[in-house]
């Protein structure tokens, strides 16, 4: 390659950035002019006294069926449908003495018709220099254009906020997916689907709250800073509290505090909580995520499965309007009863292992074929139930597309769950899978203080042996159990993954407003 030609790609890449910098500089000059006018006593650069009385969606809903002739007849009779709106200018067409601008507020878009005669020559001339992205206030009356579009005939027009950065191309929007996550504010401006996705999330949380309170659950708040991390096997984020001069941990789960409340006499509690785990990032994992955990005295894991199924079904209907969903091109029907299988039954149904599911050597060989290793995963040191769970996770989990409860997890990996009376090697625990992903985890709670102390001790020993996800020994929680906790069932539902399903989103980052990202270079 000719070395003299080498700089060309760099120059070509830099051109769009140079163009954007030029546009930003031009907009800053316009703002400079607004500030100078304010200094001279002519207006305010960033006024805050405009109060819109109407919203775009409400206007369309109330007057979308009104025909052009009806507006004209009212106008001739001296009656006007007056409105006052504010929004971001997304489109603009300047045509001599009359122009059009499309404003976007939180509910949608509406067109404004602006004439020099109605708003005055000075305002109209200023409007011609306003930019897309500027936030504008309009007062006027409704009419239909010659093409039949419902519009606001402006009588007052004001610039409320000067936008200093140009919006992305109106036809293509933001194409870089990471940029959408990093600059969510721009994504929301440009993409109606993104706004709808997060509106659906708000509806989902509201529906969940209503369902819980309608079933006599009390919403509570528990600490996000813990002196001892607990409630899940996960690596915590660590910080230091200066005033207390002690190490603290960001919550990995609210479980142990919620169960303290059951001890205290609140028989049904729930919390929609932010939890934090210092682990990997993937399309299913974000270090900061939202769960809803709930606990009910005198329930067991069978009660929980029935209730969780009802909860998700009712919430989906409220948020999505249907139980027949589509996720990544495949149907998911929440209307049918969710299947219930033990781990061994699921392995038998979805693999060809047969009776060898109880053969430790066979499981180890199959796990190695699936990419696991002795050095990393310590396969030979694991018990048969632990290997069965690993095999289930590697070979079966992704196949569970239809809603399926997987039950009876080994006691050794379920340190907070009640053991089955008939088979103490497994617990009364379930995990709910939909689209091959875990959506919920629940169990009959362990309320035997001495058993809990022994299991905490086993976890502490595992931590001493190098397992950084093992739990700490929580002496205060054991003390709480010693006062007596009634038989209790508890469950955690992953809100983010459920929203991926309800909004057909391929990545957890699509349903979290501000997901975790590396610092910008």
pLDDT tens-digit readout, 137-185:
999 999 999 999 999 999 999 999 999 999 998 766 678 899 999 999 9
Match 């919620």 to its residue by tokens: 258
DSSP-assigned letter for residue 204: H
pTM of the model: 0.90
pLDDT tens-digit readout, 438-458:
999 999 999 999 999 999 998
- The H-or-E segment that residue 431 falls in is strand 429-434
Nearest CA among 135, 78, 66 for reference residue 101: 135
pLDDT in the model for residue 155: 98
Match 């906790």 to its residue by tokens: 485
pLDDT tens-digit readout, 44-68:
999 999 999 999 999 999 999 999 9
User: Is pLDDT at 266 greater than 90 in this prediction?
Assistant: yes
CB 89, CB 101: distance < 8 Å: yes
Q: How far apart are CA 67 and CA 144, in angstroms?
A: 7
Distance, first Cα to last Cα, the chain: 30
pLDDT in the model for residue 324: 97
Please state which of the ranges 266-270, 451-455, 459-463, 477-481 shows the lowest mean pLDDT.
459-463
- Mean pLDDT, residues 376-394: 90
Percent of the chain with pLDDT over 70: 96
Binding-site members for Mg(2+) are 431, 438
- Mean pLDDT, residues 223-248: 94
pLDDT in the model for residue 470: 80
Binding-site members are 431, 438
Which class for 333: exposed (0-12), middle (13-18), buried (19 or more C-beta within 10 A)? exposed
The interaxial angle of helices 384-395 and 343-350, nearest 10 deg, is 50
pLDDT in the model for residue 383: 86
Confidence of residue 108 (pLDDT cuts 50, 70, 90): very high
Q: How far apart are CA 314 and CA 319, in angstroms?
A: 9
Beta strand ranges found along 19-74 (DSSP E) = none
Q: How far apart are CA 83 and CA 155, in angstroms?
A: 10
- Mean pLDDT, residues 381-394: 91
pLDDT in the model for residue 385: 86
């Amino acid at each position: 390659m000719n070395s003299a030609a080498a700089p060309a790609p760099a120059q070509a890449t830099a051109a769009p950035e140079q163009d954007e910098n030029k546009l930003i500089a031009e907009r800053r000059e316009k703002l400079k002019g607004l500030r100078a006018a304010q200094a001279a006593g002519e207006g305010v650069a960033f006024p805050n006294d405009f109060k819109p009385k109407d919203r775009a969606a409400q206007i369309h809903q109330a007057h979308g069926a009104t025909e052009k002739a009806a507006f004209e007849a009212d106008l001739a009779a001296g009656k006007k449908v007056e409105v006052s709106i504010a929004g971001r200018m997304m489109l603009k067409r300047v045509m001599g003495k009359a122009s059009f601008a499309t404003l976007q507020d939180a509910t949608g878009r509406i067109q404004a018709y602006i004439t020099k005669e109605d708003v005055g020559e000075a305002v109209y001339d200023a409007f011609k220099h306003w930019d897309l992205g500027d936030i504008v206030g309009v007062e006027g009356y409704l009419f239909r254009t010659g093409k039949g579009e419902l519009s606001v005939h402006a009588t007052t027009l004001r610039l409320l906020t000067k936008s200093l950065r140009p919006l992305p191309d109106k036809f293509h929007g933001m194409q870089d997916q990471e940029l959408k996550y990093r600059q969510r504010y721009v994504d929301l401006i440009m993409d109606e689907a993104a706004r709808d996705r997060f509106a659906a999330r708000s509806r989902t949380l509201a529906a969940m709250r209503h369902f819980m309170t309608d079933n006599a659950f009390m919403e509570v708040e528990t600490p996000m800073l813990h002196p001892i991390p607990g409630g899940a096997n996960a690596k915590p984020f660590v910080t230091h509290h200066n005033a207390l001069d002690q190490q603290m941990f960001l919550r990995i789960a609210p479980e142990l505090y919620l169960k303290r409340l059951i001890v205290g006499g609140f028989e049904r509690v729930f919390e929609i909580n932010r939890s934090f785990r210092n682990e990997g990032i993937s399309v299913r994992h974000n270090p900061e995520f939202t769960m809803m955990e709930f606990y009910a005295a005198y329930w067991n894991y069978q009660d929980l499965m029935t209730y969780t199924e009802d909860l998700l079904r009712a919430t989906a209907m409220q948020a999505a309007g249907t139980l027949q969903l589509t996720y990544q091109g495949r149907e998911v029907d929440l209307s049918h009863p969710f299947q219930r299988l033990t781990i061994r039954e699921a392995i038998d149904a979805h693999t060809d292992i047969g009776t060898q599911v109880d053969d430790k050597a066979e499981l180890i060989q199959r796990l190695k074929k699936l990419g696991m290793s002795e050095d990393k995963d310590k396969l030979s040191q694991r018990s048969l139930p632990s290997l069965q769970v690993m095999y289930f996770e590697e070979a079966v989990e992704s196949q569970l597309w239809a809603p399926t409860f997987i039950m009876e997890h080994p006691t050794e990996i379920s340190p907070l769950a009640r053991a089955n009376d008939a088979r103490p090697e497994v617990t009364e625990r379930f995990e709910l899978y939909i689209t091959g992903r875990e959506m919920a985890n629940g169990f009959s709670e362990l309320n035997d203080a001495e058993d809990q102390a022994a299991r905490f001790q086993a976890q502490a020993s595992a931590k001493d042996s190098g397992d950084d996800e093992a739990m700490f020994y929580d002496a205060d929680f054991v003390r709480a159990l010693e006062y007596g906790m009634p038989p209790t069932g508890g469950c955690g539902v992953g809100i983010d993954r459920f929203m991926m399903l309800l909004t057909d989103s391929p990545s957890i980052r699509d349903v979290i407003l501000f997901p975790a990202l590396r610092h910008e270079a």
